[in-house]
Chain A
């Protein structure tokens, strides 16, 4: 750890705030992306399950 002297608060607070904000943005993006992928996969499965019996009836 470098010696920050009298400026330890300013430097550590600035770096801490930056890492927290960037980490929050990344985490939020990953969670939202996962939710969207999961919801779409569920909908596609549901539609596929509904289409397959109809196709079988048609045959």
Chain B
């Protein structure tokens, strides 16, 4: 099966309809396992105490906030280059999920930062780039709603997506570019290095991340299907008016 089969709305509806229940089941299973394990069955950290439990929602949400924008970038590029409508609709479908993950990362980060850094907010490179990413998500959603012609909307939001991807990448690597903020570097990939993430946190965290990925896939599939139906409805109504 080629990925381009998804470009045909009829094929997309058929294949995604078959895949949705499986992804939904995997999302429920992995989210429930990762979150319940992370909240109820992990010990307090020797430095951060019980606030370490925020790790299991903050890190997956922050990762998915960036990954959702990268996915939107890829589908927007497919639209710009190959003019497949489903890819433009998939980009649009991913935006509310990306915005939700960005808000979760910002809110949980502030709640975690207050007891640990003694401040809710700091104009730190990673925090600031995340705030800008959040504004890009809002702008992207607003732009789609503001333009009536769907092709023009897809073109303009595609360009916005390409511009915003600079901030998505900055959000990920900000702590490496500017080593001056409060936010620490990623500890997930620090296996074998000094002060790595303990295995007691590592396994439930990875399961939570997988759960967030499946949750994102379910939301994108549901929303893309909804947008395809909405577009078909507009086409039918236009045909009705004419004939």
What residues make up the interface of A, taking CB atoms closer than 8 Å to B?
2-8, 10-11, 13-15, 17-18, 21-22, 24-26, 28-30, 32-33, 36-37, 39-40, 43-44, 46-47
Contacts and interface: CB of A to CB of B under 8 A. Distances in A.
A48 B111 CA distance: 55
Contacts of B222: 29-30, 33
A5 B219 CA distance: 35
14 contacts: A2-B39, A2-B50, A7-B50, A10-B51, A14-B111, A14-B112, A17-B107, A18-B57, A21-B103, A24-B100, A25-B97, A29-B222, A40-B233, A46-B240
B57 A29 contact: no
B160 interface: no
Interface in B176-220: 215, 219
Nearest to A26: B219
B10 interface: no
Contacts of B57: 14-15, 18
A22 B108 CA distance: 13
Contacts of A40: 229-230, 232-233, 236
B111 A6 contact: no
Contact of A18 (B44, B108, B223): B108
Given A37-B226, A44-B236, 12 more contacts: A2-B40, A4-B53, A5-B49, A7-B50, A10-B51, A14-B112, A18-B61, A18-B107, A22-B215, A25-B97, A32-B223, A33-B223
Contacts of A14: 54, 57-58, 107-108, 111-112
Interface residues of B, number: 37
Contacts of B39: 2, 15
B104 to A, nearest CB: 5
B225 interface: yes
B237 interface: yes
B33 interface: no
Given A5-B50, A6-B49, A11-B53, A36 B229 contact: yes
Contacts of A46: 240
A7 B49 CA distance: 8
A10 B115 contact: yes
A43 B93 CA distance: 23
A37 B233 CA distance: 9
Closest 6 CB pairs of A and B: A14-B108, A36-B229, A4-B50, A33-B226, A14-B111, A18-B57
